[in-house]
Amino acid sequence: MFYYINNIDFFQFASDSAFKSTGTSKLNDKPVSRSVTENVNASEISFSIKYDDNPVPPGQAKCIYKVEMSENLIKNIVDIKLDAEILCDRGDQSVRWDAVKAYYSSKFNGHNLALKEYQTAGYNKTFNAVPRSQSVNFDEFNSKITFSASWSDKYMPYPDILTSISERVDMTPSLRVHTVQPSLSSNGEHNVQFFGCASRASVTISIDATCMPDKTMASLNSCVQSELERLRAIYVTGGNLFIDQNSETVNADLRKMSVSCSYSFDSAVIS
């Protein structure tokens, strides 16, 4: 019985009937809904198939989204948040779910949607395609996928590896060394004496970084060491260099790493 039904072209029947009754020739070839009921005792199968000529055919997915932006005017940083829902509200459940999955895998790009709105708002910087946070929910029963992600246009080195990084540089310049000595001849009077030398300049660089859960600690260490060398090249510019202190803390469970390194060196003297 089912073999017989599966070989009937119901769309052609519906299309011929629609043309005869209304003159329409643009019937969608995918049904809006269908149901089949089998009565074994009566050797009977009942079925219902519905077609229409809606301009939006069954099985066509769409994306509804909103983008929120918050700006820190002092730091000139914009945080961007995207909430999107991919759904299909016409057709059989299997057709709708297949359409939603196909749209998500081949057409959906959350970063492009967020970047478009970001640029439309007049911001001329950009942000990495890898979001700071992301969540995706697949709801087959309701034939929809919900997507949420956030980005920031704050400078972020190695955005494909790191989720956050903070850097601090403390500097003490080279100064002429003076001392104050009390006068031997008069009470309350002091002499300022120059020792004829200067202190060495010092720089302390501190970095705290966190990597993505799927990245290795070796890759995190590589990023941190590269940033340390970059900052060192900028701020440590004198000769006769000494490393006064070097410390490192690693937390593999939290994917975190902290380093602090202090340098002293001869540099130009500030009078």
Query: Does 157 reside within a domain?
Result: no
Query: Does 240 reside within a domain?
Result: yes
Q: How many domains does the chain have?
A: 3
Residues 169 and 242 in one domain: yes
* Confidence band of 2 (pLDDT split at 50, 70, 90): very low
Query: Does 57 reside within a domain?
Result: no
Residues 189 and 113 in one domain: no
Residues 28 and 112 in one domain: no
Residues 188 and 234 in one domain: yes
Residue partners of 179: CB distance under 8 A and separation at least 6: 192, 193, 195
* Confidence band of 1 (pLDDT split at 50, 70, 90): very low
Query: Does 55 reside within a domain?
Result: no
Cut 0.75: pTM above it: no
Euclidean distance between CA atoms 43 and 73, whole angstroms: 75
Compute the CA torsion angle 77, 104, 120, 163 (nearest 10 deg). Answer: 10
Phi-psi domain of 44 (left: phi exceeds 0; alpha: psi -120 through 50; beta: other): beta
Residues 36 and 66 in one domain: no
Of the candidates 205, 101, 227, which has an alpha carbon nearest to the alpha carbon of residue 161? 227
Residues 259 and 202 in one domain: yes
**What confidence tens digit (pLDDT) does each residue in 207-239 have?**
999 998 999 999 999 999 999 999 999 999 888
Residues paired with 152 in a beta bridge: 79
What single-letter DSSP state applies at residue 253?
A: T
Residues 90 and 23 in one domain: no
Residues 76 and 166 in one domain: no
Phi-psi domain of 47 (left: phi exceeds 0; alpha: psi -120 through 50; beta: other): beta
**What confidence tens digit (pLDDT) does each residue in 144-185 have?**
999 999 999 988 888 889 888 899 999 998 887 777 777 777
Residues 87 and 37 in one domain: no
Which domain range does residue 196 map to?
162-270
Q: Given 128, 152, 176, which residue is the final one in a domain?
A: 152
Q: What is the pLDDT of residue 174?
A: 83
Query: Does 56 reside within a domain?
Result: no
Query: Does 133 reside within a domain?
Result: yes
Residues 146 and 217 in one domain: no
Q: Given 90, 123, 152, which residue is the final one in a domain?
A: 152
Euclidean distance between CA atoms 106 and 254, whole angstroms: 34
- Assess contact for 204 and 167: CB atoms under 8 A: no
Residues 127 and 183 in one domain: no
Residues 239 and 221 in one domain: yes
What is the overall mean pLDDT for the chain?
A: 85
